[in-house]
Chain A
């Protein structure tokens, strides 16, 4: 049955002119699962993310997202902001915050973006606007507490450390009230201590908020510790799927990694 899925990707092909970025990719993501997509550089992981969030429009295949109440929604052809409204949140590989704004404002933008605009109300600061502000403020503080950034609420986000930026992006994504959170290399640029905290945080997001997690990661230790199931991409195609233990034993995967960076392959073993 499909109702226990959150994402159902069928035979997706994405081309840029003559370059094939994703070829015939099929995968499924179960509701409440921490799923990881790994693969060497250039394998198409970020392309997959951008296709799932409506930034890229694949030419072939279908992407179905089972949103609130398991209502199926086709992602292809939808604008990125619509995908977000439907319940897909994401972070970016090179973290993309609104860098001139404070941590608090960054998260608040996420918390309030899904309500109607009410521009006239905003111009006179009517009762509905005040109520909305209060609700977003409360939600923002709650989320900053959740990710542990409460004490940095008024810091300009550009001056946060890499680890804190990841937390901020996670909080901003969660503020949109998502069903699934897509994390694009959350551990990039973080130190070992931050990595451990991040692992805990990601697990906490799934356990306490019930948000499914889909992550791309290079750090094998983190992936193997966190993911319940993995897909391996190489040259735009899925070459393997399975639990961390199965992937470790898979010859094709080791081959793919040996073909690119040896350090990754060593970590895999």
Chain B
């Protein structure tokens, strides 16, 4: 009976809609507790709820209505989908064509830049001003950096947090906030920690990259994962050097005294926002030039066919290590901002979870697309800050990763190349789906 039901396409769509919405109902429902472990499941369906503000009813009625709505939209899309899509694309054709033109691109970029600089004056709520630095600007920067490694060079790095931690601990070290004395016993100002942290993070990228980047795919992911963990464990256990789990001593705020310029960053987040934004702009410009330079093309070549790339004289290892070091530089800088703004750093802030969060931003935005990664990071981190600031009814912080996971699943089904896909990446996905791409038929031929 179920089988014959399943064969009917309408019934199948209705069934899928109801199951999907039932899962959503469970996800958004109340948690259970240890005395009544199934209470969460029961309450998810039976809890009283308001039917779109109209009347009181149980949750399942509301969700059933949503399921029917989903079924209706789905059916409509199948029925008129191609017309709707061609309608949308004809409406979008003009702006799309305009976006290809260079003056338009520059104009939009400049407008966004002005908007970004005005943001602290538009939004004066202290929570949001802090969130702009800690949750948004720093994460945009990290996402741009990881995009070089994952998106451009195609290397899955699960230990990006290591470079971030190295940046933060370098800051603490050179400012004298660690038990171990700073270099030459000079207490540097955190502002001068910026070049040092970037340099040491890049060096760490080279040291980690040179031996491990000979590995491919999954193996590399595992090694980087291990590296991330090792750095955290070091920070935790090397008590005499890092201060262990109690964290560093207070880190001073940066200040700049250069000729006539005297500026001190204080407790307020806005100056840090401008500092970070400046570096975001610098990295953005540098990386987009890099993407369209021979380095970017060589990365694409290696990503697509390493054997062929080698046959035209590209040294894959050299380019991969370079990607690692360049990506690490942004994490190093982000570490300086975090350390100097938050005053103190703890090993517990540098977790695997953090690396994965950044990876999610990159995948969501669109691997290999700088604009996509920035937009993805803005959207996810703004949504996250919003959930922190004013959580909607029924939301628990523990649920966050469930929603993030669901978002990724949906993305991978409907838009695998990300929100704003890079043109090259999109093409690669399409080609490999049609069996055209670089299935590793390495060294085939008439060899035994």
B446 in contact with A122 (CB, 8 Å): no
The smallest beta-carbon distance between A264 and chain B, in angstroms, is: 13
Between A and B, how many residue pairs show CB distances below 8 Å? 152
Contact residues, B31-64 vs A (CB, 8 A): none
Given the interface pairs A98-B308, A109-B312, the reply to whether A117 lies near B322 with Cβ below 8 Å is yes
Give the chain A neighbours of B124 by CB distance below 8 A: none
A129 at the interface (CB under 8 A from B): yes
In-complex Cβ contact of B314 among A46, A109, A129, A175 (8 A): A109
B424 in contact with A101 (CB, 8 Å): yes
Quick one: closest B residue to A88, CB to CB? B311
Q: How large is the interface on A (under 10, 10 to 19, 20 to 34, 35 or more residues)?
A: 35 or more
The dominant DSSP class at the B interface is helix
In-complex Cβ contact of A108 among B297, B425, B444 (8 A): B297
Given the interface pairs A100-B304, A100-B424, A100-B427, the reply to whether A19 lies near B290 with Cβ below 8 Å is no
A100 in contact with B431 (CB, 8 Å): yes
Give the chain A neighbours of B447 by CB distance below 8 A: 16, 21, 44, 46-47, 50
Give the chain A neighbours of B310 by CB distance below 8 A: 55, 79-81, 84
Give the chain B neighbours of A42 by CB distance below 8 A: 446, 448
B312 in contact with A93 (CB, 8 Å): no
The smallest beta-carbon distance between A139 and chain B, in angstroms, is: 13
A53 at the interface (CB under 8 A from B): yes
| Mask: chain B, 283-313; 1 = CB below 8 Å from A; 0 = not | 0001101100111111011001101111111
Contact residues, A166-192 vs B (CB, 8 A): 172-173, 175-176, 184
B259 at the interface (CB under 8 A from A): no
Give the contact stretch, choosing among B103-111, B269-277, B434-442: B434-442
Give the chain A neighbours of B307 by CB distance below 8 A: 55, 80, 92, 96
Given the interface pairs A79-B310, A80-B310, A81-B315, the reply to whether A99 lies near B431 with Cβ below 8 Å is yes
Give the chain A neighbours of B318 by CB distance below 8 A: 117
Task: Give CA–CA (A9, B310) in the complex, Å.
Answer: 22
Task: Give CA–CA (A63, B318) in the complex, Å.
Answer: 26
A94 at the interface (CB under 8 A from B): yes
B326 at the interface (CB under 8 A from A): yes
B445 at the interface (CB under 8 A from A): yes
The smallest beta-carbon distance between A48 and chain B, in angstroms, is: 10
Task: Give CA–CA (A122, B287) in the complex, Å.
Answer: 9
Interface residues of A (CB under 8 A from B): 16, 19, 21, 41-47, 49-50, 53, 55-56, 79-82, 84-85, 89-90, 92-94, 96-101, 105, 108-110, 112-115, 117, 119, 122-125, 129, 132-133, 136, 156, 158, 172-173, 175-176, 184
Interface residues of B (CB under 8 A from A): 286-287, 289-290, 293-298, 300-301, 304-305, 307-316, 318-319, 322, 326, 424-425, 427-428, 431, 436-438, 441, 443-448
Lowest 5 A-B CB distances belong to which pairs?
A46-B445, A122-B293, A84-B313, A100-B427, A123-B286
Supply 10 A–B pairs (Cβ within 8 Å), ascending by A: A16-B448, A41-B446, A79-B310, A80-B311, A84-B312, A98-B301, A100-B427, A156-B427, A172-B312, A184-B445
